[in-house]
Amino acid sequence: MDLTVVSYAVYLPAATGLTVWVARTLSRHGRLFLADVFGGDEKLADAVNHLLVVGFYLLNLGFVALWMKTGRSIGSITGVFDSLSVKLGTVLLVLGALHLVNVYALTRIRRRGLMEREQRPPVRPQGWTAQAAPQL
């Protein structure tokens, strides 16, 4: 059997498993954060959480599929490990980068929401001021 196929057989389940694990972890533990971002609206937080998970799967599994191809034939076990380390390391870096982008965006949304909630209503008028006399 060609060792390139062995590297594919190890890479695809490993990368897919990492993607699923990260998505589930972020979904489970990010729910409270999203509820806070959206002012306690649990339904909206759950809907956004689900949409983020679907988008996460699409982006990451698409990247995993595109990154699977090896440009050369692998002729040794060392080559299999070299190929897997580069491929899985890159997948992990992409997963981390996408997570940081999501957290940054949601933090900005949360900050904006907190500012809007903390703003005090404008002061009601206490009365009218006297009109200034015209200057000559």
Question: Residue 16 has what pLDDT?
Answer: 92
Question: Residue 98 has what pLDDT?
Answer: 84
**Residue 37 clears pLDDT 70, i.e. is over it:** yes
Supply 41's token pair: 């609206």
Q: Is the overall model pTM greater than 0.75, yes or no?
A: no
Pick from 14-18, 31-35, 43-47: least confident = 31-35
Question: Residue 58 has what pLDDT?
Answer: 92
